Each structure stands twice: as structure tokens, then as C-alpha cells.
């Protein structure tokens, strides 16, 4: 929720560092595949997602296109943009906009989600008149589904198809229209209200579990921050504008350097062994883990992903995919320490004492400190 149109500043969020990290990594590299946030009521799930909107980068879009087509990818243009080019409008006019968070209403009908075709116009005039839906708005943006586990099955199937293919196809009475639908899928849910279908669960690149904060100081700070925002959201936003802008710039720099970041084969070998040790089915976890580690490296100003980065993203990658329980395998940190031994550590660039302070142009991701504490505990307790 927002007050007078103002989203709560991302930098003012207290606690839930892993959730914020997962959102930021997807902003750096949307190919990661989105994030599922599981947690009880009142744990700032929706607040964090809506706050992310203010940090998303700008993008070039074709002017007048209802799907926000990317002018730099002519092969991915919608039918209307392709027709405009064929009619001599080349190059297509371009405008700049900021990525947005598009919310899917919980009770949305299938027509509202996929869009509708005016069959009367198609039969009478021979014209395919299309009224875009939520998936059209979501193209090249963030699609936010609150209470995703409560969606009707047929709506889930539509989301699955679009997420898998990057295309939304609408067919009515022999009339077919398709348009690009590539989006970052962000879902929130309360596990107490029901589970998520396994087919949709695996589509989320990352998954984080959030709970109530039990630190007294942090709980007091949450109440005070919220009260200040409700009293004067404009002044509160201005107070945190510099911090939000720093995160925004860090994301922009990370997006720019991401194509140059390498994930070496020895690091990917560690990921593969970890997936096998956890009893993971399929290969999506390996792909996502490599991409998330690369995004983290880019955010921290590193030219190459290492096992140190894998350690920081692994819990989010495998939380919803592991086939064996922690009681059977031990923690992910323990497994990685077993995998990384002797020459294997040095070959994959793992240095427990490594200083992960990022480069001067980027900020430390939330969650780094908590991971270092966990690693230290693993080292002491064995």
C-alpha cells in the first residue's frame, strides 16, 4: 500500500535482507526468472515489491506500442510494430520510460489477464482488433502476483505458458493474436493459506522465506519508520532519496557490466555437485544459480563469479527445489564446505577470508553480513 501515491522507500525497509537481495538480483538480471516470497501476514512482502518499482532502470520502448516493444530487438517486435516498419516507419520512434510493477488482481478473469479479441469487428470488417490485458502491460516489466497460491488453475496455466515462451497467444473462434510477454514474475504468498502447484513453483528463479522479526530494536524501528512515513510520506521519501538513488545507480552499473562477468567452469562444477547432493530434479537450478551468482558479482563490482557468490545465493535458488531435506544432507553451507576441499577450493576461487567489499561504484547487497555470520558459525561448529 502507499500513502498519497508514495511507495515506501526501499532503503528504509528494516530486516528481511534475503528478500531484498532476491529482488535486487532480478532487477540486475531478469533472466534469473523472478522470485517467490513466502511468509506470514505483515512481514512487508508487498511493501518490498512495491518499493522496488522506484529503483527499476529506464528502458527504451517503441512510441505508441501497447506492449512496450524493444526497438533494439527487431526480431522480437509485435505484429503492429513490424507492420509499421514495413509501411516505411523505419526507424520506429522511440521513447524512454522506467520499468514498472504491474499487479495482477487476485480475482482477474482470463480475458483481463490475456486480453480480448473483438470478434464482431473481425467478422464484420476482417480486422483483428485486440484489447490488451495484464500480460501486455507486463511485457518487459515486473508482474506482481499477490497471494499467488490462491489463483485459479486456468489463470496459473496462462501464466505458466507465457513465462515459459515469452509470448501470449489469444485465440477466439478461429481468430488468433499473439504478442511478446516477457516479464519478471514476482509472487507473494502465505503458506498457511495453501500450497503452490509444483509446476508454477519451479518457474520462480529464486524463493525466499520471510518471518516475523524477533529483534526488539528492529521491531521498534519498523514501527517508528512506518509512523514517520504515514505522517508525511513526501518528507520521508526525501529523507531516504539519497540512499535509494545509490541503490538505483548500483543496479544500473551492474546491468551495464553484467555481460562482462564470467562464471568459470570450476564454479559451475561446484553448482552441479551441489544440485546432485540436494537431490534436485532437472537443470533449472544450475542455470539459475549461475545467473544469480553472476548478477551478485556484477553488483559487487567483481569481474568473475566465485563460490563465495554461490554461497550467498544458493539458499534462494534451492529453497523450493531441493529433493532431500536438510536433516538428510545438512545445510547448504555445510555441503559446499564438503564439496570445496583442497585444490578444489583454490580452483574455484573460494577464499573464506575473502573481502567482499564491492567496488567503489556499487553497494554491498543486503544479506552479506548475515551470510558471513552463518559461514563463521559453520566454520566454528564444524
101-108 mean pLDDT: 88
Confidence of residue 293 (pLDDT cuts 50, 70, 90): very high
Q: Which helix (H) or strand (E) holds 130?
A: strand 130-131
pLDDT of residue 382: 42
Can you read off the three cell numbers belonging to residue 41? Answer: 501476514
Using CA atoms, how far apart are residues 318 and 275, in angstroms rounded to an integer?
A: 8
Inter-residue contact 94 to 62 (CB < 8 Å): yes
pLDDT of residue 373: 45
Q: Say whether 107 sits in a helix, a strand or coil.
A: coil
Inter-residue contact 371 to 356 (CB < 8 Å): no
Range from 143-147, 174-178, 203-207, 351-355 carrying the lowest mean pLDDT: 351-355
169-195 mean pLDDT: 86
Whether 284 sits among the annotated catalytic residues: the reply is yes
Beta bridge partners of residue 170, listed in sequence order: 177
Residue from 50, 85, 284, 345 carrying the catalytic annotation: 284
Confidence of residue 75 (pLDDT cuts 50, 70, 90): confident
Can you read off the three cell numbers belonging to residue 163? Answer: 513465462
pLDDT of residue 124: 67
pLDDT of residue 152: 86
Inter-residue contact 210 to 216 (CB < 8 Å): no
Tally of helices (H runs) and strands (E runs) in the chain: 18, 11
Of 1.10.3720.10, 1.10.1740.110, 1.10.8.80, 3.40.50.300, the CATH number of 255-381 is: 1.10.8.80
Nearest C-alpha neighbor of 285 from the set 335, 252, 244, 323:
323
If one counts every other C-beta atom within 10 angstroms of the C-beta of residue 150, the result is 14
Q: Say whether 62 sits in a helix, a strand or coil.
A: strand
| Residue given cell 495453501 in the structure block | 194
Using CA atoms, how far apart are residues 144 and 254, in angstroms rounded to an integer?
A: 23
Asked if the model's pLDDT at residue 172 lies above 80, the reply is no
For residue 303, what is the DSSP state?
A: S
Can you read off the three cell numbers belonging to residue 183? Answer: 516479464
Maximum average pLDDT range among 12-16, 211-215, 287-291? 287-291
The residue extents of the domains of the chain are 17-57+99-210, 255-381
The pLDDT tens digits of the residues spanning 107-150 come to: 888 889 999 877 666 566 666 678 889 999 999 999 999 999 88
Confidence of residue 380 (pLDDT cuts 50, 70, 90): very low
Confidence of residue 162 (pLDDT cuts 50, 70, 90): confident
Can you read off the three cell numbers belonging to residue 308? Answer: 563465495
335-340 mean pLDDT: 86
Nearest C-alpha neighbor of 146 from the set 11, 8, 48, 12:
48
288: left (phi over 0), alpha (psi -120 to 50) or beta: alpha
Range from 154-163, 233-242, 368-377 carrying the lowest mean pLDDT: 368-377
Using CA atoms, how far apart are residues 251 and 29, in angstroms rounded to an integer?
A: 10
pLDDT of residue 197: 79
Confidence of residue 57 (pLDDT cuts 50, 70, 90): confident
Using CA atoms, how far apart are residues 100 and 78, in angstroms rounded to an integer?
A: 20
Confidence of residue 349 (pLDDT cuts 50, 70, 90): low
Note the Cα 104 to chain centre separation in Å: 16
Using CA atoms, how far apart are residues 106 and 147, in angstroms rounded to an integer?
A: 7
Beta bridge partners of residue 95, listed in sequence order: 61
Provide the whole-model pTM. 0.82
User: In whole numbers, what is the pLDDT of the chain averaged over residues?
Assistant: 84
The pLDDT tens digits of the residues spanning 207-259 come to: 999 988 889 999 999 999 999 999 999 999 999 999 999 999 999 999 999 99
pLDDT of residue 302: 95
pLDDT of residue 127: 63
Can you read off the three cell numbers belonging to residue 270? Answer: 561446484
Confidence of residue 196 (pLDDT cuts 50, 70, 90): confident
* Class in CATH terms, 17-57+99-210: alpha beta
Alpha helices in 55-94 (DSSP H): 79-86
Amino acid at each position: 500500500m502507499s500513502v498519497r501515491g508514495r511507495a515506501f522507500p526501499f532503503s528504509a525497509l528494516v530486516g528481511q535482507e534475503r528478500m531484498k537481495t532476491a529482488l535486487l538480483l532480478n532487477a540486475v538480471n531478469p533472466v534469473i526468472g523472478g522470485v517467490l516470497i513466502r511468509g506470514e501476514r505483515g512481514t512487508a512482502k508487498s511493501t518490498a515489491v512495491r518499493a522496488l518499482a522506484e529503483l527499476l532502470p529506464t528502458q527504451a520502448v517503441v512510441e505508441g506500442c501497447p506492449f512496450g516493444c524493444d526497438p533494439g530487438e527487431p526480431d522480437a517486435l509485435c505484429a503492429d510494430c513490424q507492420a509499421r516498419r514495413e509501411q516505411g516507419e523505419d526507424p520506429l520512434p522511440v521513447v524512454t520510460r522506467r520499468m514498472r510493477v504491474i499487479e495482477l488482481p487476485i480475482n482477474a478473469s482470463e480475458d483481463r489477464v490475456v486480453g480480448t479479441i473483438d470478434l464482431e469487428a473481425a467478422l464484420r470488417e476482417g480486422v483483428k482488433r485486440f484489447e490488451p490485458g495484464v500480460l501486455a502491460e507486463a511485457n518487459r516489466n515486473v508482474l506482481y502476483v499477490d497471494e499467488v497460491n490462491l489463483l485459479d488453475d486456468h489463470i496459473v496455466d496462462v501464466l505458466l505458458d507465457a513465462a515459459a515462451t515469452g509470448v501470449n497467444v489469444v485465440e477466439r473462434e478461429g481468430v488468433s493474436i499473439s504478442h511478446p510477454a516477457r516479464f519478471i514474475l514476482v509472487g507473494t504468498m502465505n503458506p498457511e493459506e495453501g500450497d503452490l502447484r509444483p509446476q508454477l513453483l519451479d518457474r520462480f528463479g529464486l524463493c525466499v522465506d520471510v518471518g516475523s522479526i524477533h529483534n526488539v530494536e528492529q521491531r521498534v524501528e519498523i514501527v517508528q519508520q512506518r509512523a514517520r512515513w504515514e505522517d508525511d510520506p513526501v518528507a520521508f521519501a526525501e529523507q531516504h532519496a539519497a540512499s535509494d538513488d545509490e541503490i538505483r545507480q548500483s543496479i544500473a552499473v551492474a546491468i551495464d557490466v553484467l555481460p562482462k562477468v564470467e562464471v568459470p567452469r570450476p564454479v559451475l562444477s561446484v553448482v552441479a555437485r551441489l544440485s546432485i547432493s540436494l537431490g534436485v530434479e532437472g537443470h533449472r537450478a544450475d542455470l539459475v544459480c549461475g545467473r544469480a551468482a553472476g548478477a551478485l558479482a556484477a553488483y559487487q563490482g567483481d569481474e568473475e563469479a566465485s563460490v563465495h557468490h554461490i554461497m550467498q545465493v544458493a539458499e534462494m535458488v534451492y529453497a523450493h527445489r531441493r529433493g532431500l531435506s536438510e536433516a538428510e544432507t545438512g545445510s547448504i553451507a555445510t555441503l559446499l564446505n564438503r564439496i570445496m576441499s583442497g585444490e578444489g577450493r583454490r580452483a574455484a576461487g573460494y577464499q573464506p577470508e575473502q573481502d567482499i567489499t564491492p567496488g567503489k561504484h556499487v553497494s554491498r547487497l543486503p544479506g552479506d553480513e548475515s551470510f558471513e555470520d552463518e559461514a563463521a558459525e559453520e566454520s566454528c561448529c564444524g
